[in-house]
Amino acid sequence: MATNDNRNTCVVMTLCSRPAYTRQVLEALARCDDVDRFPIGLLCEPVNDEVIDIAAKFTTLPHVKAFVMVGSQRVGCNINTYSALAYGFDHHERVIALEDDTVPGRDFLRFADWGLTQYEKDATVFSVCGYQRTPVEEVGYRNAVVRESWFTPWGWATWRDRWHSIREHWPADDRQVSWDTVIDKLTRRNRYEVRPMLARIQNIGAEGGAHVPGAAWHAAHHLNRHWVETVPGPRVDEWHEVSSSETVALRANHPC
């Protein structure tokens, strides 16, 4: 099944000051199935020339349709994320969002596109997310998804109507509260996210993050020991939803 045909979907990614992570995420994104079908917008804070150079080089790859926007002044994570999403939804009906420490698996874009199509008319679903801390006993659920009343900001996607339901309450000051906390605790209003039982996103943000105290904490709370890039198996083109009771890895049981 072709991805993003007549679906009006783009990818946005926020970048700041971590060149090694930026390079790793963009290299993985360049390898994603069907990446050539999605316009990609890279929104850079104006704080690290190496990050901006890495982003600019990504746009020269012949099989991607990408562009870079560099802010005139540093605005912080909350506002940069808002700007990325606002730009995406000003031009597209559906947006897939990445950050500089969320590495996509090869089929992440296809998974996100499938989820956006599958759940578009289900008003109880707020977002589709590729992240899951997959336990070893669940790696065989390669094409299964679950829903949970939660919001995870690591490799997620949503629709323009859901965006309009949250944008008015977006926090400006990073020092007060993070944007994803506001979505999870307030503006999603108990709507669900849909996640794969076998993760399609790896979180690599062990250093330099605002809410991660160090590498050991990251390894214990965010790192996926098992995800689609470490678990061999056949290509998946269609996923199916199973009961959330099928997984022990609900975010409510392991909040962080």
Mean pLDDT, residues 82-102 taken together = 98
pLDDT digits 0-9 by tens, 23-39: 999 999 999 999 999 99
pLDDT at residue 190 above 50? yes
Q: How many domains does the chain have?
A: 1
pLDDT at 200: 98
In a domain, 138, yes or no: yes
Tokens of 117: 């199509």
pLDDT at 211: 74
In a domain, 3, yes or no: no
DSSP per-residue letters across 215-240: HHHHHHHT--SS-TTTS-----S--E
pLDDT digits 0-9 by tens, 153-175: 999 999 999 999 999 999 999 98
CATH of the domain at 231: 3.90.550.10
pLDDT at 221: 87
Tokens of 250: 């609900």
Domain limits for position 44: 9-253
In a domain, 104, yes or no: yes
pLDDT at 1: 41
Q: Percentage of the chain with pLDDT > 70?
A: 97
In a domain, 16, yes or no: yes
In a domain, 4, yes or no: no
pTM to 2 decimal places = 0.96
Instruction: Give the C-alpha separation, 177 to 187, whole Å.
Output: 14
In a domain, 2, yes or no: no
Mean pLDDT (the chain, rounded): 95
Tokens of 26: 């963009």
In a domain, 105, yes or no: yes
The total number of residues written for the chain in this structure: 256
In a domain, 115, yes or no: yes
